[in-house]
A and B are shown apart, each in its own frame.
Chain A
Amino acid sequence: MIVVRQKPVDEICAFVTRHRRVLLVGCNTCAAVALAGGEKEVDLMAELLRLATSRKASFVEFSGTVLTRQCEPEFLEQLDSEGYDAILSMACGAGVALLASSVDVPVYPALDTLFIGAAQGLASWEAECSACGQCVLGRTAGICPITRCAKGILNGPCGGVSDGRCELGDRDCAWVLIFQRLEKFGRSKEFLEIAEPQDHSLRTRLVTWDAHEDGIR
């Protein structure tokens, strides 16, 4: 999923205090699962903004609604934004962008988009994928070195590893984990294959993707 986090209320206030009637729009897929943009969070954010803006003696009205997904036009069609002079989107960057292109009022982001990640426990996620467009997980035992190694190294641990921890001190060394898992499956020899540098032109050109091009119907 796309992991998101709410922006500080002050930052959001700076967007909305220029307006009179603001519609908060939640997103009931990733942002809801990330506890940042579901129905509850929309209601809570509206309350917070009412409080915060009233202290600043500005009079902004806030209402809220939630869409199934903001990154798909068919769900955006269900949005009724009549009478609002601004929208606060509580979705990932893709949701904000599509919503902004489909309405005639300013759309502001209430969230920061953090990464493509997986749940580690209750309300906790870890980055697992950098959307590089050329997945290497097949040779790295399912652990992404581009995402989980701070340097994105493709050929094994750097000299900064200490007792299996990254030199940044905030994560396990991805390459120690990869090595251990390859070993567990009797694949340690694969570790010795030199991985060539990534072709970043692929990613540079990946701005659109039409599945029909691949014959998918």
Chain B
Amino acid sequence: MSLREALESGRFAVTSEVGPPKGTDVSQMLDTAEKLRGHVDALNVTDNQAAVMRLCTLAACVHLAQKGHEPVLQVTCRDRNRLGIQSDLLGAASFGITNVLALTGDHVIMGDHPQAKAVFDLESVQLLEVVGALNNGTDMAGNDLSGTPEFFAGAVVTPDAHPIEPQLAKFEKKVRAGANYFQTQAVYDSESFLGFMETARSFDTKVLAGIVVLRSAGMARFMNKNIPGITVPDAIIAELASAQDPVAVGIEIAVRFINDVRDSCDGVHIMAVGAEHLVPRVLDAAGLWEVPS
């Protein structure tokens, strides 16, 4: 069952992500994917994540697809103009890669080549419309395609953004631009997330809650300070600070959150951020280890 089939059938979906290497050795990425085989519906492949140059997403997706994994091609608008993006999307479809996550992308200033020229010829909302056009058999300029892709378009939303109103308005725009589903920035406050889901439920789209497993109080504080749109509540930081085994407590926190929200959203997207080995532990503890085929 593909990610699209899972979400369209109403089954709770689980996705995670892998990062392409800096270099040509894809073995570690494939090892990570292997550990998650059979336990996730799809694996996001990041696109020069945090504006740090790495092996290209499309090639990484092809490696994963050849091993039988279902990749989600993350596409940012930072590094390619409308020609580059459309041609990469067609290339992906030609390899049977149809899950696409449309992102604007972190600015090049944030990454390891800050001197680069940032492109941003398009941005996430426009990219979703481009994906829709390709699905309808034409490129952005209205030219007919020979062979039409069938992309399943995803987008992101930050439920804890400050201020929240423009973020929700942009969420609505992304739905109208054709987002079939959303994965959220990492969320920790289940009540606040359930409030967001009430708004989200008035739109015809699916939402996967974003999970980043906390490994220490320091990590939580770091994320609060440095990652826009992430708010780890003080109570959770205190819980981690007093824990004998903070990693185990971090997993407990993630599982508790999943249990609190699972009846209100359509799945979870678990971001490993350097601790891929914890993803199976979270899925196991949350009773999500077995993905029905």
- Please list the residues of chain A having a beta carbon within 8 angstroms of any beta carbon in chain B: 150-164, 167-168, 175-176, 179, 183, 188, 191-192, 194-197, 200
- In the complex the two chains form, is A163's CB within 8 Å of B109's CB? no
Bound-complex Cα distance A179 to B163 (A) = 10
Q: Which residues of B contact A188 (CB under 8 A)?
A: 165, 169
B229 in complex: contacting residue of A159, A179, A191, A194, CB < 8 Å: A159
The interface residues of chain A, by DSSP majority, are classed as loop
- In the complex the two chains form, is B129's CB within 8 Å of A167's CB? no
- In the complex the two chains form, is B166's CB within 8 Å of A156's CB? yes
Q: Which residues of B contact A162 (CB under 8 A)?
A: 162, 228-229
Bound-complex Cα distance A152 to B108 (A) = 13
- In the complex the two chains form, is B228's CB within 8 Å of A161's CB? yes
- In the complex the two chains form, is B120's CB within 8 Å of A191's CB? no
- In the complex the two chains form, is B109's CB within 8 Å of A150's CB? yes
Interface centre among A159, A168, A188 (most CB of B within 10 A): A159
**Is B291 in contact with chain A by the CB < 8 A criterion?**
no
Q: Which residues of B contact A192 (CB under 8 A)?
A: 169, 172-173, 176
Given A194-B125, A197-B126: A160 touches B107 (CB 8 Å cut-off): yes
Q: Which residues of B contact A158 (CB under 8 A)?
A: 104, 123-124
Chain B interface residue number, banded: 35 or more
Given A150-B107, A168-B109: A194 touches B185 (CB 8 Å cut-off): no
Given A157-B166, A194-B177: A200 touches B156 (CB 8 Å cut-off): no
**Is B167 in contact with chain A by the CB < 8 A criterion?**
yes
Taking CB as reference atom, which chain A residue is nearest B162?
A163
- Please list the residues of chain B having a beta carbon within 8 angstroms of any beta carbon in chain A: 77-78, 82, 104-107, 109-110, 118, 120-126, 129, 140, 156-158, 161-163, 165-167, 169-170, 172-173, 176-177, 185, 228-229
B173 in complex: contacting residue of A156, A159, A183, A196, CB < 8 Å: A156
10 A-B pairs with the lowest CB-CB distances in the bound complex, closest first:
A156-B170, A162-B228, A155-B125, A179-B166, A151-B120, A153-B123, A159-B158, A158-B104, A160-B228, A163-B162
B166 in complex: contacting residue of A151, A167, A175, A196, CB < 8 Å: A175
Bound-complex Cα distance A160 to B176 (A) = 22
Given A164-B162, A167-B106: A196 touches B126 (CB 8 Å cut-off): yes
Taking CB as reference atom, which chain A residue is nearest B129?
A194
18 additional A-B pairs beyond A161-B167, A167-B228, beta carbons within 8 Å, are A150-B109, A151-B78, A152-B120, A155-B123, A155-B124, A155-B170, A158-B123, A159-B156, A159-B229, A162-B229, A167-B110, A175-B166, A176-B166, A179-B166, A188-B165, A192-B176, A194-B173, A196-B129
Bound-complex Cα distance A130 to B77 (A) = 20
Bound-complex Cα distance A167 to B129 (A) = 25
Bound-complex Cα distance A42 to B170 (A) = 50
23 A–B contacts from the bound complex (CB under 8 Å): A150-B109, A151-B77, A151-B120, A154-B123, A155-B123, A155-B125, A155-B170, A156-B169, A156-B173, A157-B167, A158-B124, A159-B104, A159-B161, A160-B106, A161-B229, A162-B228, A167-B106, A179-B165, A191-B166, A191-B169, A192-B176, A195-B125, A195-B126
- In the complex the two chains form, is A159's CB within 8 Å of B185's CB? yes
- In the complex the two chains form, is A151's CB within 8 Å of B109's CB? no
Bound-complex Cα distance A155 to B128 (A) = 12
What's the least CB distance linking B290 to chain A, in Å?
Answer: 32
What's the least CB distance linking A180 to chain B, in Å?
Answer: 8
Taking CB as reference atom, which chain B residue is nearest A175?
B166
What's the least CB distance linking B95 to chain A, in Å?
Answer: 26
Q: Which residues of B contact A155 (CB under 8 A)?
A: 123-126, 170, 173
Bound-complex Cα distance A191 to B167 (A) = 11
Given A159-B229, A161-B229, A164-B163: A197 touches B170 (CB 8 Å cut-off): no
- In the complex the two chains form, is A159's CB within 8 Å of B126's CB? no
Given A168-B109, A196-B126: A153 touches B162 (CB 8 Å cut-off): no
Taking CB as reference atom, which chain B residue is nearest A167?
B228
- In the complex the two chains form, is A176's CB within 8 Å of B228's CB? no
Bound-complex Cα distance A152 to B158 (A) = 20
Bound-complex Cα distance A164 to B77 (A) = 22
Interface centre among B82, B122, B228 (most CB of A within 10 A): B228
Q: Which residues of B contact A159 (CB under 8 A)?
A: 104, 156-158, 161, 185, 228-229
Q: Which residues of A contact B122 (CB under 8 A)?
A: 197
A200 in complex: contacting residue of B121, B157, B158, CB < 8 Å: B121
Taking CB as reference atom, which chain B residue is nearest A145?
B123
- In the complex the two chains form, is B158's CB within 8 Å of A151's CB? no
